[in-house]
Amino acid sequence: MTPPLDLAPSAPGAPRREKSSGGVKFYLTTPLYYVNSKPHIGHSYTNIAADALARFRRLEDREVLFLTGTDEHGQKVDKAAVQAGRVPKEFTDQMSLSFKDLWKTLNISYDDFIRTTETRHKNSVCRVWIELQKKGDIYTATYKGYYCTPCETFLTDEMVRQQVAAGQAIVCPDCKRPAEAIEESNFFFKLSKYQGWLTERIEKGDEMCILPQTRRNEMLGFLRVNKLEDLCISRPKNRLAWGIESPLSTEHVTYVWFDALINYISACGYGDDKAGDRFKKWWPADVHIIGKDILRHHAIYWPILLHALGLKLPKLIFAHGWWVQGGQKMSKSLGNVTDPVEIVRHYGVDSFRYFLLSETPFGEDGTFSEEALISRFNTDLANDLGNLLHRTLTMCEKYFGGEIPAGVSKKSGSVLRNHVNVLVPVLVPLMNKLAFSEALSEIWSLINEANKFIETSAPWTLSKQGKTEELKKVIVPLMEVLKAAAQSVWPFMPNTGEAIWGQLGIKEKLWETPFKKDMWGFFEKGGKVSKGAPLFPRIEVEKK
Ligand SMILES: [Zn+2]
């Protein structure tokens, strides 16, 4: 098996336009990743999807704030640090870097990376405590109940009641480990008070939308059947010191989930008196991209907390599915992690990005396998896109010495021309609902039409017959298609987009060239190609 040619990486630090475009703002976030273990394929999936959306929005001339980061407090981190023989801060510094390294490897163009141990975040969390207390939405109570230490959650009364009724030992419903009986004084947030309000919001979908629809229905079902209990938002320091101290008590730190959710507002300046209009400019978020396992925190706790603070709700919460291998969720705790760095080393970063976003509709579960990745690579990347580029440029060199004929574009290519001009208008609504696989198949339908156009117009025959004018009307339209393809695949495969762009001899930077209303006609003034090595040499799999 030959590994694919390594593409030249983009300019360091994820290139983008130097000045903000002044276009309509777009604020998107990923979850903050918990640093108790190293990043795996699930984290990669979320950030690759977010990156594709962020880059697409930038090409639409939107002003983008793309936020990711790390969640660094809580018992699990505290324990992992002890096991690693480190103090928590040292441990989280190191783990946080392993996420940053992966984002570099995967070409993730985030604008801000927030760590919950940063001062800006701690200040916001304190402001939230104080605001909620002013509103009368926080109270203290002695809590007697069962607690799962690994999951850092209390069991609900209902969970305990069911297990007692069944005569079982009390275990955590998530991890099945024994739960501890504890009694302590804590702060509670009045979640229950807002249940009716939230149910109505989700039913109406007027302020906040949850996608896919099945996830929205799941949340509504949950709210209709269960009575929300108030949320315990503190932990006693004597049990856990690694957290953000509550401004209301020196004996308590903030519950890690409560702390983590607040990052979405702390990153854009909530509670920072020096931030000026920054918060007003960016909030509410346009989309929170999350995995389906943390939907309840985002679709129930978070909107209620925002509402209690008098803030707007995020416009969209999108919960994506999981990648499974052998039918089990891939995560560290199950010990079947597929290391994203290894995959990239073998197959290249763009093949990995392309596979994850094209193989399965975003929102559904997918099955990851090397065979499936190789098959996509050979079919879509090597055969369809790679061949279109390589043979078009080869013909341009052979027939026109690499010069793209001028004055031809605007009077040629009727079918391809329509297809190119409607491409972005077709992609926009798909990207609005994060339908990445559908967007990619739209781009591929253009690529395949261009490949068919080569077959039906048989440029080699035109060349033999000396029909130069007709030959120009075959080659130039193909250049227009390749330019449109380079630009529209760039959000998904940045290196590939830039490599095609370079081979087409385009001098402007791709990331500084927003989509135009009519894409066709770029090569009206001609140009000069500079053909490179094939981008996607086929992967030959040895037969066993
Ligand atoms: Zn548990």
From the CA of 155, how far away is ligand 1's center (Å)?
Answer: 9
Domains and CATH numbers, the chain: 25-126+257-366 (3.40.50.620), 370-528 (1.10.730.10)
From the CA of 539, how far away is ligand 1's center (Å)?
Answer: 43
pLDDT tens for each residue of 458-473: 999 999 999 999 999 9
From the CA of 90, how far away is ligand 1's center (Å)?
Answer: 26
From the CA of 213, how far away is ligand 1's center (Å)?
Answer: 28
Q: Give the residue with greater pLDDT, 449 vs 183.
A: 449
364: left (phi over 0), alpha (psi -120 to 50) or beta: beta
Q: What is the mean pLDDT of residues 348-359?
A: 97
pLDDT of residue 38: 80
Torsion of CA 260, 265, 269, 270, to 10 degrees: -100
Residue type, 437: S
pLDDT tens for each residue of 332-347: 444 445 788 888 988 9
From the CA of 177, how far away is ligand 1's center (Å)?
Answer: 6
Q: Token pair 């529209």 is at which residue? A: 488
From the CA of 120, how far away is ligand 1's center (Å)?
Answer: 31
- The pLDDT of residue 12 is above 50: no
* Contact (Cβ atoms closer than 8 angstroms) between residue 510 and residue 17: no
From the CA of 537, how far away is ligand 1's center (Å)?
Answer: 47
Predicted complex ipTM exceeds 0.95 = yes
pLDDT tens for each residue of 154-173: 888 888 999 999 998 999 98
- The pLDDT of residue 14 is above 70: no
- Residue ranges in 377-529 assigned as alpha helix (H): 387-400, 414-432, 436-457, 459-464, 468-489, 494-503
d(CA 3, CA 345): 9
| pLDDT band at 330; cut points 50, 70, 90 | low
From the CA of 171, how far away is ligand 1's center (Å)?
Answer: 8
From the CA of 178, how far away is ligand 1's center (Å)?
Answer: 8
- The pLDDT of residue 11 is above 60: no
* Contact (Cβ atoms closer than 8 angstroms) between residue 520 and residue 413: yes
